[in-house]
Amino acid sequence: EPEVTQTPSHQVTQMGQEVILRCVPISNHLYFYWYRQILGQKVEFLVSFYNNEISEKSEIFDDQFSVERPDGSNFTLKIRSTKLEDSAMYFCASSLGGLIQETQYFGPGTRLLVL
């Protein structure tokens, strides 16, 4: 069964450093998403991406964040200058369509720790 994969599973970085989190969505899916979960808090929507552009983003997704689909298979989340409060589990998801009833398929997550 096809699944969403994410690398790395864990990343430790120093405050102010750039990090890139990588995801490989399911191959025939067209919509891609990033969510995050700060320890002890709810899973939160960050951004959705379709047709090589952002379709929606939350207020969390400020200028420090960017997303890209560089090669037709990977979908990346870049944090330019990490802050302590960026420490969280980051989940990538993909769906075939973008409507509200579409199932989003999630990867196992990348746990980011900013020191």
Partner 1 sequence: AQSVTQLDSHVSVSEGTPVLLRCNYSSSYSPSLFWYVQHPNKGLQLLLKYTSAATLVKGINGFEAEFKKSETSFHLTKPSAHMSDAAEYFCVVSDRAGGTSYGKLTFGQGTILTVHP
71's CB contacts (< 8 A; 6+ apart) are none
Tell me whether residue 91 or residue 114 sits nearer to partner 1 (CB atom).
91
- Three-state helix/strand/coil letters over 49-70: EECCEEEEECCCCCCCEEEECC
Q: How far is the CB of 25 from partner 1 (least distance, A)?
A: 12
Whichever of 13 and 58 has its CB closer to partner 1, that residue is: 58
5 or 66: whose CB is closer to partner 1? 5
Using DSSP, state whether 37 is helix, strand or coil.
strand
Smallest gap from residue 39 Cβ to partner 1 (A): 12
We find the least distance from the C-beta atom of residue 98 to partner 1, in angstroms, to be 4
Q: Amino acid identity, residue 48?
A: S
The residues binding partner 1 (CB under 8 A) are 3-4, 31, 33, 35, 41-45, 48, 55-56, 91, 93, 95, 97-109
Reference 91, options 50, 49, 44, 29; nearest CA is 44
